[in-house]
Amino acid sequence: MKKPITPGVFNIHWFSLLNAVSFQIILGAPIILYAKSIGATSTAVGILAAFTPLMTVLQLPAAKWLPVYGYQRFVLMGWGLRTIFIFAVAAVPLLSFLNDVAKLVFLVAALFVFNFLRGIASTAWMPWIAALIPEEEKARFLSRDQIFMFCGSLIALLFSALLMAGDVASSEYSLVFLVSALAGTAALYFIKRIPDVCGSEQMRKSSEPVPWRKILFYPPFFSLLVFNLLFVIVVGSLGVFTIEYLHEWPGFSVSQVLYLSGLSFIGALVSLPFLGKLLDRFGCKPILAAALILFGAVIGGWFLLAAGVIPCQKRVVCLLNFASGVAGAAFNIANARIIFATMPQMGRNHFFALFTVISSLGLGAAPVVWGISLDFIGTYEAVTGSLHWKRHSIYFAVLFLLNLFTLLQVSRLRELHD
């Protein structure tokens, strides 16, 4: 007999779709390409990519306010305020009286405040979903939600690519960012329609003082945290600097880079309908291992491109981005499921907050460190046989080794039935 779906749950999925349209523009490829167009270095691009994860550190002080406002109101306030600053970003390309340096400063400032507000608001999101969705429904829910999210991301990239074909004018960047702001505004309607959880007692217990050291070194939690830190160090910057690499390669226009980036979401959408069943059959760890093996193949492919072993052709990039989408979807859904299963009920808000903050610090540090490293390597080049060691090929080679080490950590994870 088919299990019933939690009433109102599709409002979460529609929110995920519209939110994905918004963030894929304002935090994804279009904003990176715009930053590069006004002279951003690899370090500057890395800093922009780091804002979102680094600001999740605000979840730790914000967690104590959940019992005061409740999940829905907390998310609604934060998401509403942050949307104002997307409109500010949309205005930046139109400020013709500013030079590129001033525009970049303005852009960084607006995105800083946007991510500051997002970091606070995100405190309530995972505990809200964990409390709303029954355990037996989580696999189906996560699969569906990923489909909606990837559809939103794909819509955002395809629209951006269509709008920015050929030579890109400042007004076209501004229009794309305006779409992000409007999608973010529309998403607020669905937040209001998501059922709030009457979990005052659960939130009260979770907001009581909890020994942070005991939480950190709770064995299943600590193993999962270390594993995720390693993963974000590897993959956290991959989407940023593959876009930068293609942007710098002759023959790839802005619209082509966006179209090619969209293939990762197509790969995710193709694989997601099967992932829920595979998770139920095999468990989380085999899926995580398979995802990391596929990521290793993708990173190896980018290395071969950057090292000049194989030509940088569109069909090769298509294959790599498609495979990356499959790997990302498999990892995300298996990782989300094992995260939900690992967090104990007592102090759950704080477990979620501590996990998100520490892993996000790693995710935020990764693009900054790699950006600084790429700028430091600069124009260095050496040749070993058929391998050309340049800044991007060195970057992909190090990522490949780190991915292999991350794969070895899967066996340390503990599922509930272990």
The pair of structure tokens assigned to 95 is: 């400020």
In a domain, 282, yes or no: yes
Nearest to 120 by CA among 66, 68, 50: 66
In a domain, 417, yes or no: no
pLDDT the model gives residue 201: 47
Q: Which long-range contacts (CB under 8 A, 24 or more apart) does 208-216 make?
A: 208/347, 210/346, 210/347, 210/350, 212/350, 212/354, 215/347, 215/350, 215/351, 215/354, 216/354
pLDDT the model gives residue 186: 95
Find residue 153's DSSP bridge partners: none
Nearest to 105 by CA among 14, 58, 35: 35
In a domain, 293, yes or no: yes
pLDDT the model gives residue 209: 56
For 303-323, the DSSP string reads: HHHHTTSS---HHHHHHHHHH
Domain that holds residue 26: 11-412
In a domain, 3, yes or no: no
Q: Give the domain CATH number at 172.
A: 1.20.1250.20
In a domain, 270, yes or no: yes
What lies within 8 Å, CB to CB, of 252 at 6+ separation is 246, 260
pLDDT in tens, the chain (418 residues): 445 566 677 889 999 999 999 999 998 889 998 998 898 888 998 898 888 888 878 877 777 777 777 788 888 888 889 999 999 999 999 998 889 999 999 999 999 999 999 888 887 887 788 778 887 777 678 778 888 988 999 999 898 988 887 778 888 999 999 999 999 999 999 998 888 776 554 555 544 555 677 777 778 888 889 999 999 888 888 888 888 888 887 778 888 888 888 888 899 888 888 877 787 788 888 999 999 999 999 999 999 999 989 888 889 999 999 999 999 989 988 888 888 777 776 666 677 778 877 888 888 888 898 889 999 988 888 888 888 899 899 999 999 999 999 999 998 887 654 4
For 247-294, the DSSP string reads: HHSTT--HHHHHHHHHHHHHHHHHHHHHHHHHHHHH-HHHHHHHHHHH
pLDDT the model gives residue 166: 72
Which one-letter amino acid corresponds to residue 21? V
pLDDT the model gives residue 18: 95
Question: Whats the size of the chain, residue-wise?
Answer: 418
What sign has the CA pseudo-torsion 46, 57, 234, 149?
Answer: negative
In a domain, 2, yes or no: no
How many domains does one find in the chain?
Answer: 1
pLDDT the model gives residue 5: 60
What lies within 8 Å, CB to CB, of 286 at 6+ separation is none
pLDDT the model gives residue 92: 93
In a domain, 4, yes or no: no
Residue 68: strand, helix, or coil: helix
In a domain, 341, yes or no: yes
pTM above 0.85, yes or no: no
pLDDT the model gives residue 35: 92
